[in-house]
Structure 1
Amino acid sequence: MTDPDEVDPWSLSLVARVERDPAPTHTDTLVAAARAVVLLLSDPRVTEPDGELRAAVQAWRDRRIRKICRRARGAKWDRTAGLPHAEASSGDAVVRVFAPHPRDDVPDLLRPLQVGGLDLSDPEDLAVPGPDGVLTIRLTPGVTMSTGKAAAQVGHAAQLALERLPQAGRWQESGSGVRVVVGAPVLPEHERVDVRDGGFTEVPPGTVTASAGFEGTV
């Protein structure tokens, strides 16, 4: 689905490493995706006036914010290291986030990677850390999303938290920890950010897919 009113759309590419053994879990992949987005947007290559990625990120921010999650393994994953990126891990999950680019002009190293169809699982005894010192991202109950779609949504939630919540500076200083849970928001609207999806894939437009805020002490 495309937006007829949007001219020259840009997107931010996330790539999840998905080896067969060990396979990453769903939640670890989401945590890594959220942290990787924050690491890229906080990188001096983006924040410094002469940073090599600053112009690309600004061009992307000036448009509708789009994120696309791909997956790779083996040599294809290794080759993506040749592009400027930020990387984060959680458990066996690793996610790289690359500089934004025009949606229809995907870098050669990313173009062959599969978009969609990434659907991982969690163990039944998944342990969820407490809220202190981390950003809590809550996925909306009843909104069904693949792992790839959810990774883009939590990445967007982390970006909004970084840009809009006053505790973000202290959070970054403490390591930008993230936890991801399923549940309705527990914070009032002025203490959280909500992600409303554009409706291009998997969910109807305007769906609130996630919220994020600092539920504990930062």
Structure 2
Amino acid sequence: MSDEAVGIDPIAADPFPDTYRRLTAYVGGHDDPPDPADVLAMQMVLRLEKADPPARGEVLEAAARAVALLCLDDRAGGDGPWASPMDAWCDARIRKIARRARGAHWVAAQEVWGVTATAGGAQARALVPGRVGAVDKRISRLQIGGTEIAGDLPVAPARAGICLWVNPALEMTVGKLAAQVGHGAMLAVTLLDEASARTWRDTGCPLSVCAADDPVWARLLDDDGAGRAVAVRDAGFTEIAPGSVTVIAEIREG
């Protein structure tokens, strides 16, 4: 018996179109609520163990993938349990807050609604957004600072597909950059049609995070203006000036 015969809408039954449209329709620029506790933010947890810290580039790749996977998760669309908080977050000013965790605190963070991604030896978890005044205690106890990791980013992507290029002129901590590449991964979906975005999600949102040199950055800025790439422009709440272009996402051909 077909879905139509039993009164089931086959489109509504598939949550992916909702998650795709949410990202491609987002325009940003909304005002914050009067009460700072009502600001909505996505908490991001970076696993940074003392004994064997991961590579800087791998942490950023894991963070970006975790955000993309959360935004495109079936639970974030349709009647899924994450749909309402994701709608509210994307209808407000999108914010992300990166924290570090290790040991038992990292294990506890896995119990909070979200998605964990791995890149090489790094792990990061993106959590379903909510009010900053009501962050789960297992997350609020995690430090926001102390996320700095030594090391350079690659200067060229290791694979074809989505690449998130970091502005060579800006100095940002790993925590700040994690939020920026996370936003870049969200905006990168606008470069994909729905079928390609679904394939990208189903394959784990593979991507690269690279450091642009000045000529590459100039070319990327031109591509952003022409619609061939998409730039992240920061609101300037922390570390850098408002309106700074922090990351540019593009699709690299094989």
TM normalised by structure 2 equals 0.77
Q: Which amino acid aligns with 2:191?
A: L
- Shift of residue 106, structure 1, vs aligned partner: 1.1
Fraction of identical pairs, as percent: 36
Residue 130 of structure 1: aligned partner: 158
Residues 131 and 214, structure 1, Cα contact 8 Å, conserved in 2: no
Residue 187 of structure 2: aligned partner: 160
- Shift of residue 171, structure 1, vs aligned partner: 3.2
Residues 88 and 94, structure 1, Cα contact 8 Å, conserved in 2: yes
From the superposition, tell whether residues 26 and 6 of structure 1 become closer, same or farther in structure 2 (CA, over 3 Å).
same
From the superposition, tell whether residues 10 and 129 of structure 1 become closer, same or farther in structure 2 (CA, over 3 Å).
same
Any residues of structure 2 matched to 1:112-127 within 5 Å, and which?
112-122=141-151
Matching of residue 38 in structure 1 with residue 68 in structure 2: yes
CA distance in 2, matches of 1:53, 1:198: 25
SS at match of 2:126: strand
CA distance in 2, matches of 1:160, 1:127: 21
Residues 185 and 211, structure 1, Cα contact 8 Å, conserved in 2: no
54-63 vs 178-187, which deviates more? 178-187
- Shift of residue 68, structure 1, vs aligned partner: 0.6
Residue 119 of structure 2: aligned partner: 90
- Shift of residue 116, structure 1, vs aligned partner: 2.3
1:69-116 Cα distance to aligned partner (Å, 9 max, x none):
001001111111111110101121100011101122211110100012
SS at match of 1:118: coil
Residue 182 of structure 1: aligned partner: 211
Aligned length: 209
Any residues of structure 2 matched to 1:31-110 within 5 Å, and which?
31-47=61-77, 49-110=78-139
CA distance in 1, matches of 2:131, 2:63: 20
Larger radius of gyration: 2
From the superposition, tell whether residues 106 and 76 of structure 1 become closer, same or farther in structure 2 (CA, over 3 Å).
same
Runs (5+) with no aligned partner, structure 1: none
CA distance in 2, matches of 1:128, 1:204: 27
Matching of residue 197 in structure 1 with residue 234 in structure 2: yes
Hey, which of these two has a bigger chunk of helix by percent?
Answer: 2
CA distance in 2, matches of 1:18, 1:119: 9
Q: Which amino acid aligns with 1:35?
A: R
